[in-house]
């Protein structure tokens, strides 16, 4: 991968671009790692389950046929959090650190698995 961290660039766009390139190259390890990181970013953008807009007791809550459901088109829709570039880079760094920690744990029992995890972590280095 030939990505360099650019402070001005959108890290999510860089990750998606790298995923597209990895898919074209059929680079399964890179695809797996990049999808995992993009999923972690998407999870961080999610709003807590009981945000004020959808909390039980709010207008429309519990009126549908499903307990805790809301009625009306889009009644339960909540805007996602907006993450800054630093937030996304912190998530990528945390994912990389998790891979390196897992590699350290696998080192004695399965050195091949540890090497694979370190290679996965190295794929993320340009995005931190």
Question: Which tens digit of pLDDT belongs to each residue from 4-34?
Answer: 555 567 999 999 999 999 999 999 999 999 9
3-state DSSP call for residue 118? helix
pLDDT digits (tens, 9 = 90+) for 53-97: 444 555 544 555 666 666 666 666 778 889 999 999 999 999 999
């Amino acid at each position: 991968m030939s990505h360099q961290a650019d402070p001005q660039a959108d890290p999510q766009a860089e990750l998606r671009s790298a995923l597209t390139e990895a898919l074209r190259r059929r680079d399964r390890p890179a695809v797996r790692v990049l999808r995992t990181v993009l999923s972690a970013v998407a999870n961080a953008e999610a709003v807590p389950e009981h945000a004020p807009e959808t909390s039980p007791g709010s207008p429309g809550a519990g009126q549908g046929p499903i307990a805790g459901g809301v009625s009306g088109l889009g009644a339960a829709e909540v805007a996602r959090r907006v993450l800054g570039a630093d937030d996304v880079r912190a998530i990528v760094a945390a994912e990389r650190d998790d891979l390196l920690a897992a590699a350290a744990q696998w080192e004695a029992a399965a050195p091949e698995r540890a090497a694979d995890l370190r290679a996965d972590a190295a794929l993320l280095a340009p995005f931190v």
